[in-house]
Amino acid sequence: MTTPRPQAPWSCPICGRPTEGPADALAHGREKHPAVLPAALTIAQRLDLIATLADEAQLTVGHPNPDGPQQTRRGHAPAGRAPADLAAIDLAAPADDDHPDRPLSLLVECSRLCWDATPLDVHQAHPQPDPPCTLATEARWLAGFWPAAQPWLDLVDYDWIEDNTRAILARLAAATRTRPRPVHHCPACGEPLADAAGGWLWCRACGAEHPGPERLAEQWRRKPPMATADLAAALHINPNRIHTWRWRGLIEPDHTEAGVTYWRPLDVIALLWPETLEAA
């Protein structure tokens, strides 16, 4: 009788959290390091996410992108995916590069506005962090300082911080390949859909309700393979999108019958809404 080999403990390379097995690792990744940005964030939540993505960008800069557009070599053989883009290179610039449009410079200016607006007793309760100043350390400090500083800010400074934390997060999302949450449109009228209770999406324009990604995934989990045109019509996407995923090596057909290609619906849904599904 062979004794199963115990699995080596694994810790998250981004935040260092230990995990208790593959399922726990997947759950941690989806919750703490999502591949898709949340639909709506407060400034405090945005600052927390800026710190997390800054750590991730520092770890992954210069490495191949695991889920980005492929380059093509001669002979049409797929090559390695594009490495980190200019956004990641900019994030890795030296701390003494104080160009006013750099994410770190913008974040430091957010901190300065909060610091200048607050009285001495608030300063004493929130001492500034020790150098070196990085995106991650500055974002974590400002996230802790923000609840005390927010009531003292005038509307102009508040709006400036709102706009620039959005801009910083967008730059970090580009550097780490964190995609914005997809906007779903009503199949009936084409207007954007809003989240509703129970995994449904609601159209404010015509009042129609449609199943959201989570509900769709549950409905389609055990469906048999479907032809390209039928599956694309059912999910309200262009059939060429499925073929593009196949060309990029992200999906494989279940089988081909009489010249018609059949796909597993859940494979396609997992690419449409990766944040809603566990890796299969």
For 23, other C-beta atoms within 10 Å of its C-beta total 10
**DSSP bridge pairs for 202:** 194, 209
**Tokens 């300082």 belong to residue:** 145
Element (H, E) at 137: helix 135-149
pLDDT tens sequence across 107-133? 999 999 999 999 999 999 999 888 888
Evaluate if residue 185 carries a pLDDT over 80: no
Range scoring the smallest mean pLDDT among 109-113, 136-140, 146-150, 189-193: 189-193
Q: Check residue 139 and give its pLDDT.
A: 95
> pLDDT for 1-47, tens place per residue?
455 555 566 777 777 788 777 777 767 776 777 677 776 789 999 99
Which CATH architecture best describes the domain 212-277?
A: Orthogonal Bundle (1.10)
What is the pLDDT at residue 235? 84
Distances (CA, A) of 280 to 10, 12, 23, 274: 20, 20, 11, 11
Higher pLDDT, 214 or 75: 214
DSSP 8-class letter at 280: -
CA angle 217, 19, 138 (to 5 degrees): 95
User: Structure pTM?
Assistant: 0.60
pLDDT of residue 73: 44
Token pair, residue 98, equals 């104080």
Cα 47 to the center of its chain, rounded Å: 14
Structure tokens at 76: 């049409």
What confidence category does residue 61 fall into, taking pLDDT thresholds of 50, 70 and 90?
A: low
Q: How far is CA 134 from CA 51, 89, 222, in A?
A: 9, 14, 47
Report d(CA 240, CA 269) in Å as an integer: 15
Which of the pair, 216 or 237, is modelled with greater confidence?
237
Q: Is a pLDDT exceeding 50 seen at residue 76? A: no
Which residues have a Cβ under 8 Å from the Cβ of 193 and sit 6 or more positions away? Answer: 183, 184, 185, 186, 201, 202, 203, 210
- pLDDT tens by residue, 200-209: 888 888 888 8
CB of 83 within 8 A of CB of 52?
no
Arithmetic mean of pLDDT, 232-255: 90
- Residue predicted with more confidence, 135 or 275: 135
Is 105 or 60 the better-scoring residue by pLDDT?
105
Q: Where are the domains of the chain?
A: 39-64+86-180, 183-211, 212-277
DSSP string, 7-67: PPPEE-TTT--EESSHHHHHHHHHHHS-SB--S---HHHHHHHHHHHHHHHHHHTTSPPTT
pLDDT > 60? residue 278:
no
